[in-house]
Structure 1
């Protein structure tokens, strides 16, 4: 029998890899895509008559408006702004107001002052910094994929037949199994992170990593405890939950309850010790006897 408290101690505080922090390739690509426009705008740096100069520039090179949202650290191509003089929804892909109105926008947002007063030397370098900052918003997605990538690495090492992001209905159709207890008699569509077809069983796998605490952990644990209970009504299919992270130490009660009913609840150390390999090769009888 496994000991929950000892197992909990093996949870990792983080699984962040070197490329988690900034995707520099994406940063460079985004800046490269508007490098011509930014270099055209560079001619305005230090302008003594910024409004007149930028009006001439936009009239001659209207495409330069494409880079304005990035100069404000905004991703979308439409920006809404309002004050006592009215409300406007500026389109920076295709101009929907006069050039003068776009100059008003740049003036009121502070861009004209930034450019004219030489607070920066090069808009390309400035946008590189902005893109690095914006890319930090992608860390949440990269963090979620890191755990999936880690689990997939061990599935590859196990040499098993596996599928990514497979829906419950697809499993039923492919192998002729009845998952109605899990789907509430067909009312729910569930997508599993991985599905493994081993010799004697089908294994459906959920993965996640929680570096911090919060109510979501308790909800997840209760949800997976219910799945584990319902899966006992299904022949030929086993549920595996692979999770890790220091966040579980603040939600140990609910996790402990799931641990007691789901003997295929694993963490990273379990995978490192070959637990998945033994499970797929020998079934549950091979889990903890080696």
Structure 2
């Protein structure tokens, strides 16, 4: 029975964020732990009455404390560029490249001295943990990019397949050709294009090349994706023993629904999360 595109699109999700999407706390704790000793040494400056002199003295005795300073400014690097009316400077924090006086100037002009000497914070270790948490939020895009892949893989496993036995992750066309001696020149531009599928499922009767993605927001990339997968669907249809399957979802598709519908009309094996929840994989992979 022909599926209704509008009803199918209406079941798309606005998000697939899981519990670990928001902050990777193990990573946060590892990063802070790497500079824990240095941060605790710097803690001795909190509430200092003469922080510049105390900082210079501290840096002379414990030069290694410099390596935690970039984190206090939410910078994940060993060097920081800064300029003023006196010139431009590229401060190194893994090994000093300026005088202690210049680093004290850096601390003053960036506001770190004020943060520490006025007791605005009570503990640099806690402060750094907060900074790391904020920095880690930038990693959500990367984590989000893998959410749909991971979700699809869970359903593949639930359908009874075993990784590296009858399903494979991130497999290139040439690897599929070499492993099963199948001619995929129709989708590789006669061997000139090296495409990688997110997953490949192998059954006794068929090889399934799988693509996965989720779009929570719109953009020009969605139209390009729909068009390219439409072409891939038509090219795959000419190959005996190979089937292209696309798992996609996300409310972002509403802005590119016409292009998606064109692909939907020519690609019988295009599914969303609801389809997976209803057991589509056990019906498709036979």
TM-score range, shorter chain: over 0.9
Shift of 1:193: 0.7
Worse-superposed segment, 181-190 or 134-143: 181-190
Separation in structure 1 between the aligned mates of residue 107 and residue 185 of structure 2, nearest angstrom: 58
Separation in structure 2 between the aligned mates of residue 172 and residue 11 of structure 1, nearest angstrom: 34
Match of 1:111 in 2: 112
Match of 2:197 among 192, 199, 202: 192
After superposition, give the CA deviation of every residue in 1:192-227 in whole Å (9 maximum; x if it has no partner).
110111111111111111111111111111111111
Match of 2:274 among 269, 277, 281: 269
After superposition, give the CA deviation of every residue in 1:107-160 in whole Å (9 maximum; x if it has no partner).
221111211122111101111111111111111111121111110011111223
Separation in structure 1 between the aligned mates of residue 172 and residue 157 of structure 2, nearest angstrom: 21
Match of 2:261 in 1: 256
Separation in structure 1 between the aligned mates of residue 14 and residue 189 of structure 2, nearest angstrom: 36
Asked whether 1:174 is paired with 2:183, we answer no
Separation in structure 1 between the aligned mates of residue 6 and residue 64 of structure 2, nearest angstrom: 61
Match of 1:40 in 2: 41
Asked whether 1:215 is paired with 2:220, we answer yes
* Segments ≥4 residues shifted beyond 3 Å: none
What is the alpha-carbon root mean square deviation over aligned residues? 1.2
Match of 1:144 in 2: 145
Shift of 1:242: 0.3
SS of 1:243's partner is strand
Asked whether 1:242 is paired with 2:247, we answer yes
Q: TM-score, normalised by structure 2?
A: 0.95
Shift of 1:102: 1.7
Separation in structure 2 between the aligned mates of residue 59 and residue 189 of structure 1, nearest angstrom: 56
Match of 2:101 in 1: 100
Shift of 1:8: 0.7
After superposition, give the CA deviation of every residue in 1:151-193 in whole Å (9 maximum; x if it has no partner).
0011111223101111111111111112222222222221111
Shift of 1:84: 2.3
Shift of 1:86: 1.7
Worse-superposed segment, 84-93 or 70-79: 84-93
Match of 1:125 in 2: 126
Size of the aligned set, in residue pairs, is 281
SS of 1:70's partner is helix
* Structure 2 alignment gaps of length 5 or more: none
Worse-superposed segment, 182-191 or 166-175: 182-191
Separation in structure 1 between the aligned mates of residue 79 and residue 183 of structure 2, nearest angstrom: 48
SS of 1:119's partner is coil
Separation in structure 2 between the aligned mates of residue 92 and residue 105 of structure 1, nearest angstrom: 12
Match of 1:288 in 2: none
Match of 2:52 in 1: 51
SS of 1:159's partner is coil
SS of 2:149's partner is helix
Asked whether 1:4 is paired with 2:5, we answer yes
Separation in structure 2 between the aligned mates of residue 68 and residue 225 of structure 1, nearest angstrom: 51
Match of 1:202 among 207, 219, 227: 207
